Structure 1
Amino acid sequence: MSDILRIEHVPLTAADMALLRRCSRGKTLAAIAGLVMFLLLVATVLVIALLAWSEWRSLGGGDGVMVLLVGIGAGVGAIFFGRRLLRLPRAWGSVGRALKGRAPKQIVSGHLTGFGPGQRPGLSYVFGGQRVDVAVPFWNEVTSDTRSGARPVGAVALTDLPVRLHVLPLQPDAPGLLLGVDYPMSGQAVTSLEAISDADRDQVRGEELAVRKFFLWSALAMLAVSLFVPPLILLAALLALMGWVLGMRSPRLKRARYKHGVRGVVEEVVTYRLHMPNSPTVSLAHNYRVGGVMYRIDHLGPVATPGQRVEFEYVDAGPLGQRGLFFRIEDQPAMTL
């Protein structure tokens, strides 16, 4: 089997540009947040330097070491955010040229022999003795540096078959952005677009209320136990608050008017680990490539494997993101989302 890679340069399609626009949403807010953090850290370094200069005689051994460590930490943070800010103009320029049709994408064709997480955040496709590292939309930082982002904890795919990678090079020294992958069975996937029905809204609302009831009943149980173990009343209050928040109506479903349906063979499964802020809780985010397109579907139950047929529906609420309606593996019941 030939290991030679064939590379073609072709213009971006409308679907490619739509994906790139979605990846670059919120770049201004992210830049402002980075600038604020940089200025705060620089101000911290300056204040510590001024304090050390004016009060250096009164600083004892322990206090002096603490001030020095805080200053070093703030300085390292300022350098980190400063380097990120310096990369923004170049990255934004690359994205802007691509959206104006001035930057072609590469179609890399070959016989896929291996697949997995990349050495950097992203994915790695192996064609015999050659490796192609790519950045993943929404998981790598497209508008700053595609070498940064989240690294998957697991990645499996169908191999030993011909594939075509659609890659958009954004920076010469960084992995290109993976826009799509053509597998031999990609053309067999079926997609649909339908208006959201009242039954869909009722189904989602029922799931939200079921979650609320679960947490409220758990809160009542903790409240009863707190009669004997008083500190558990705090846990009861937390469970009640979580039930109220998680049981609220989904803003995504409020804004969405249409639902998307997808049915086909799973070509890739990429899993990321998500850490909840200020919490030890960890969850897994499953991404399935079906029909050459990657979809993120958060669900409970078993994970589909490459080669299995799946069917799912989701709504797209623009800036609010996507929300799954249901997910089902062939010959298995629908899973809870």
Structure 2
Amino acid sequence: MGETLRIEEAPLTGDDIALLRRCSRGKTLALIACLFIFLLLVSMTLLVAVLAVSEWRSLRGADGVMLLLVVVGAGVGVAFFGRRLLRVPRAWRSVARALKGRAPKQIVSGHLTGFGPGERPGITYVFGDQRVDVALPFWNEVTSDTRSGARPADAVALTDLPVRLHVLPLLPDAPGLLLRVDYPMSGQAWTSLEEISDADRESVRREERGVRKFFLLAALAPLAVSLFVPPVILLAAVLALMGLVLGMRSPRLKRARHKQGVRGVVEEVVTYRLRTPNSLTVSLAHNYRVGGVMYRVDHLGPAALPGQRVEFEYVDAGALGQRELSFRIEDQPAMTL
């Protein structure tokens, strides 16, 4: 038997607009970088084409094949970045209207029977035989195309419950942006706002010093080996540099004045795999929905599960992003961040 969904429109709240503003932060620089790469590829394509036409008589077979491959590769890049740039003006207009409170959101209500990663970047809510695909803030491209972004490695949630999805449609042919989700227990979550204490700063500084000490000690082994194999000293230098950088004082904590606390039942867990550039290292980014709101919490140890109660604190330093101070699953010791 199919589940009947109820869809109604409602104005954006102050929290919705604040979330959308945070999602849009820094996108201008990304657009400039995209435009620069597009123009660079166009210039490269034109330059290679002109050279090929003017020097075609002197080209050998291998040179011609190489030029053809360069033109094809640059052309593919031009098409990719050009398509993204063409969608930006319409997406930005939609975001601008929403930031001014002129675009309504949709509230989709139904009995949730399934939840998981979507076929495209984003997640899917299942209501009987009906599916609702949505884009997640910070993980999908909000100011260009919500169909682009990162795809979750795993997504689980409490199901067999009535829920209300707050979705902001940005483009007619793309998934809407998920602002919040109301579960039956969402109203029981607890939040707080307090000034950051000296103890909080000292705790974070102690962790930073621990990270620095770990990498500096790790650098001693390749440093000793470099006495016999000189090139290995480069590895020691890299480890020492990582220790100095990662052990620096957190700019987020310097800038922030207040910390925010959250405590409640985990309603959803969405996990992403993040790969470090030029490295095989993979880390997990856990996103927990508590009280209807999604929070990204980076921590070591196992992830919390839907239905468990968690408690964590973080600071929001504006453009510098969020920095977790503590994370704890109920009846378990606090985890290292």
* Equivalent in the alignment of 2:82: 82
Q: CA deviation at 1:227?
A: 2.5
Percent identity, please. Answer: 82
**Root-mean-square deviation over aligned CA pairs:** 1.0
Q: CA deviation at 1:34?
A: 1.1
* Equivalent in the alignment of 1:247: 247
Which AA in structure 1 matches 2:103? A
TM-score by length of 2: 0.98
Q: CA deviation at 1:221?
A: 2.3
| Cα distance in 1, alignment partners of residues 228 and 93 from structure 2 | 63
* Equivalent in the alignment of 1:36: 36
Q: CA deviation at 1:101?
A: 1.4
* Equivalent in the alignment of 1:132: 132
* Equivalent in the alignment of 1:233: 233
Stretches (4+) displaced over 4 A? none
Q: CA deviation at 1:2?
A: 6.4
| Cα distance in 2, alignment partners of residues 176 and 157 from structure 1 | 19
Pairing of 1:274-285 with structure 2 (within 5 A): 274-285=274-285
| Cα distance in 2, alignment partners of residues 89 and 336 from structure 1 | 43
Q: CA deviation at 1:145?
A: 0.5
* Equivalent in the alignment of 2:107: 107
Which AA in structure 1 matches 2:155? A
* Equivalent in the alignment of 1:60: 60
- 260-269 vs 270-279, which deviates more? 270-279
Which AA in structure 2 matches 1:57? R
Contact 2:94 2:170 (C-alpha < 8 Å) held by counterparts: yes
Aligned residue-pair number: 337
* Equivalent in the alignment of 1:174: 174
Secondary structure in structure 2 of the residue aligned to 1:103: coil
Structure 1 residues 205-236: Cα deviation after superposition (integer angstroms, max 9, x where no partner): 00000000001111112212332343322111
Secondary structure in structure 1 of the residue aligned to 2:289: strand
Structure 1 residue ranges without an equivalent (≥5): none
Secondary structure in structure 1 of the residue aligned to 2:88: helix
Please state if 1:316 is matched with 2:316: yes
Which AA in structure 1 matches 2:32? I
Structure 1 residues 74-100: Cα deviation after superposition (integer angstroms, max 9, x where no partner): 011011111111111100000111111
Contact 1:2 1:111 (C-alpha < 8 Å) held by counterparts: no
* Equivalent in the alignment of 1:7: 7
Secondary structure in structure 1 of the residue aligned to 2:230: coil
Q: CA deviation at 1:144?
A: 0.3
Which AA in structure 2 matches 1:183? Y
* Equivalent in the alignment of 1:192: 192
TM-score by length of 1: 0.98
Q: CA deviation at 1:23?
A: 0.6
